[in-house]
Chain A
Amino acid sequence: MTAILERGRAASPKPSKRSRILMKGNEAIAEAAIQAGCDAYFGYPITPQAELLEWMARRMPELGRAFIQAESELGAINMALGAAATGARVLVSTSSPGMSLMAEAMSYMAGSETPMVLVNVMRGGPGLGSIGPSQSDYFQAVKGHGHGDYRVPVLAPSSIGEAVELVATAFEMAERYRTPVILLADGILGQAMEPVEARFRHPPRQEFDWALTGADGRAPRVVRSLYLQPERLEEHNNALQAKYRQIVDREVRWAGEQLDDADLAVVAYGTAARIAHSAVLKARQEGLRAGLFRPITLWPFPEPQLRELAARPTAMLVVELSAGQMVEDVRLAVEGRCPVAFHGRTGGMLPSPDEVLGKLRELDARVRGRGAA
């Protein structure tokens, strides 16, 4: 237990005051991708991620790299598919309704094992919804998008600095596992300005034995997801599943705060975790032993870590900017070992720290009441 929590704490970046610059989330993510060696960016204007596209429109051509404002999100992600199939480092960004259109190619890219990083700056839904911050596409990112048995790693930063770090991590994971990787942000992370440590990382380049470069002095290569023979497709799917098991074993990331003696654990990611952090501090001030468990990888989900945590705290409160999506995975992880309550806001609304504190008080009273009975 302690070992796992230590590892979680080590994952939180320690800010240094020396090399910090003030950046807007969308722009910081874009620049982090550029510094990570992104060769090509394809996008389509949509709020609240438009600044990311605009940053790329200026920066990529000046560096001699590829930038296209595509005709649609379908166009953008299929351009990414083509560029990625040649072994290029490719970034695509969008927001919720655009993600729905990108679902098709996500399935093809997972099936044909093409690496790519996709940034989804979530907004309110369903439908055209709103342009306010939201986490209502957790299901879509973690369980959904396209058809077929596949998974993609989903990284969820809760600060702009962490987003910068995770962009490089996302490219590394994409290339190591030959898979699309989603960086899941929301309107607050995209639009807010924060001091960012200028510690951009450039993951080393690899030679790919699958990349399309022209069959010059070697046998032709095919990047494909079509296997008409059932035996062959099952074999391919089994190989994908084996890869996903490796990712589950190796790539879980999360962070914890004040969990060692906590008997109330708030579980939240992204912007909701920022609010939960403030609520936990307030709860501690009034004597509630609260802590924060923050998944950083939403897939692979920190399931064993949560299960271990559930053995000790009396109760968990899941806070999301949704009507309740990640809470399902928390309940699956906890397997009934402790009560799991939920508090969420939707449509671009944010819970205040006091609102979350109120829910913690309620939960505490409920748990104590039951304990006394």
Chain B
Amino acid sequence: MTAIAPAPRVISSRPELLSDRSSHYCPGCGHGIIHRLLAEVLGELELGPRTIAVAPVGCAVFIYDYLQVDWVEAPHGRAPAVATGIRRVRPDSFVLTYQGDGDLAAIGTAEIIHAAGRGELITAIFVNNGIYGMTGGQMAPTSLLGQHTTSTPMGRDARLAGYPIPMTEMLAILPGVAYAARGSVIDPAHIGKTKAMIKRACQAQLDGTGFAIVEVLSNCPVGWGMTAHESMEHLAEVEKVYPLGVLVDRSAPARQPASAEGS
């Protein structure tokens, strides 16, 4: 008797919105994981054809080569302003920004705070890897105290270079912010949770409840001077400074007066 092999069960495949090309990112970089999460979420919510996304300056500027939606490049730090312009003239589009920590937490602090303050219906993905990766590994506002970078060769000293800035906590206190959360790509369980956060942040925009941001703690093996594996393990240290979880969720429709009235 011949055994017939059961048809293979597909448990994972390339999301439709993710292009079939190898990335330019360094081996072990977390951007690839986060790109995939976005492609999955946008696909599941069927947002691909409606999305206009804003690319940052930094390693992830080439995200438009991988995530198959419409993209515009923003000058360094200005993505939330660019996204605001898109949002105001295209109310039916889904508007996404993708920024790193140099982009969002240093040069673009005014733009992110005011987009959030206005409660712009934008979903912001904030990749925090504590370093300027593309320019060769300089200190970011999010770098940890003591962290060795090319511009803090003796380690980040608070007396000279100040303290890490918890951007997402700062944004979470603004009433225009519907949803703010911090996830991590440290391991598959956290990656799954981060995906759920991204989905929730997209839903907040679709529900019209306000600005939504997900900070994702990610790694930079080359900038951190670690192997890919070491850098992932190091995220456990980063989490101690930037605790994971939902920082604010004003997006639940039941809490909104408009929905409470029953419409």
Chain A interface residues toward B at CB < 8 A: 39-40, 42, 66, 68, 70-72, 74-76, 78-86, 88, 90, 104-105, 108, 112, 212-217, 220-226
Contacts and interface: CB of A to CB of B under 8 A. Distances in A.
19 contacts: A68-B84, A68-B118, A74-B81, A75-B84, A79-B88, A81-B81, A84-B85, A85-B85, A86-B52, A105-B78, A112-B73, A213-B70, A214-B49, A215-B49, A215-B51, A222-B64, A223-B71, A223-B73, A224-B55
B72 A85 contact: yes
A222 B72 contact: yes
Contacts of B51: 214-215
Contacts of A40: 85, 88-89
Contacts, number: 134
A214 B72 CA distance: 11
Contact of B114 (A71, A213, A224): A71
Nearest to B86: A82
Contacts of A79: 81-82, 84-85, 88
B61 A220 contact: no
Interface residues of B, number: 35
A150 B87 CA distance: 28
B89 A83 contact: yes
Interface in B191-223: none
A216 B69 CA distance: 9
B81 A78 contact: yes
Contacts of A39: 89
Contacts of A88: 89-90
A262 B4 CA distance: 101
A66 B52 CA distance: 18
B70 A83 contact: no
A225 B90 CA distance: 23
A36 B88 CA distance: 19
B164 interface: no
B68 A215 contact: yes
Given A75-B110, A220-B64, A215 B69 contact: yes
B82 A220 contact: no
Interface string B73-96: 111001001111111111001100
A134 B173 CA distance: 44
Interface in B32-80: 48-52, 54-55, 61, 64, 68-75, 78
Contacts of A105: 75, 78
Contacts of A82: 54, 72, 74, 81-87
A212 B69 CA distance: 9
Contact of A74 (B48, B78, B90, B113): B78
A77 B216 CA distance: 28
A90 B75 CA distance: 18
Contacts of A215: 48-49, 51, 68-70
A161 B254 CA distance: 54
A40 B114 CA distance: 18
A71 B81 CA distance: 9
Instruction: Give me the 4 closest cross-chain CB pairs, A-B, nearest first.
Output: A82-B85, A216-B49, A78-B81, A83-B85
Contact of B73 (A66, A84, A224): A224
A71 B111 contact: yes
Given A70-B81, A82-B84, A217-B49, 4 more contacts: A72-B110, A79-B88, A225-B73, A226-B61
